[in-house]
Amino acid sequence: MIEILILYILSKYDSTIYKVRKLIEEKFFMYASPSLGTINPALKRLETLSCVEFESKMTDGGMLSKTYKITPFGLKYLKDAILSFEFKNKSNVLNNVSILLCVSDVLEEDEEKKELNKTLLNHLLLLKKEIDDALLNPYNMYEPMQKAVIKKELLTVESLIEVLQ
């Protein structure tokens, strides 16, 4: 997911690593807050894949600074990464769906947007069923606060399902 976030930011702004981090935190504060230790290796991977390139400059303070920008291949890679995102961890489905919806404006073709929405809707419907089943399972003896939190998440899932339908 970090590569999607970085490429999305670079599709909008040419940025230093520090600005990439700041913009991710500003735009995706509810869903992601990566450290420079996470962003730097991801940027290096993306550079190796020719998804990003950088220009080095000396700052006024005499420091070497790299300004990254996305390449045309990087934009294609971003779109492919959004459309082929693999949901591996059930506990992150809601978060990942939210991020993918937020970055979906880079998809230009209506067919791509429909494909993404269908995929996201399917994952949300599966999550809703699992939540419903868990709440109805008499062997799951949830405490009142646990049940309240789960029901709140269920409302969020149902809300996103409505948006996608």
For the question of whether the overall pTM of this predicted structure is more than 0.85, the answer is yes
Residue 52, strand partner residues: 70
C-alpha Rg value of the chain to the nearest Å: 19
Q: State how far the Cα of 5 lies from the Cα of 150, in Å rounded to an integer.
A: 28
Give the C-alpha separation, 78 to 70, whole Å.
Answer: 10
Residues 6+ apart with CB under 8 A from 1: 32, 85, 96, 99
Residue spans of the domains in the chain: they are: 1-84, 89-165
Is 1-84 in CATH node 1.10.287.110? Answer: no
Per-residue pLDDT of the chain (165 residues), as tens digits, is: 999 999 999 999 999 999 999 999 999 988 888 999 999 999 999 999 999 999 988 777 777 788 999 999 999 999 999 999 999 888 899 999 999 999 999 998 889 999 999 999 999 999 999 999 999 998 988 999 999 999 999 999 999 999 998
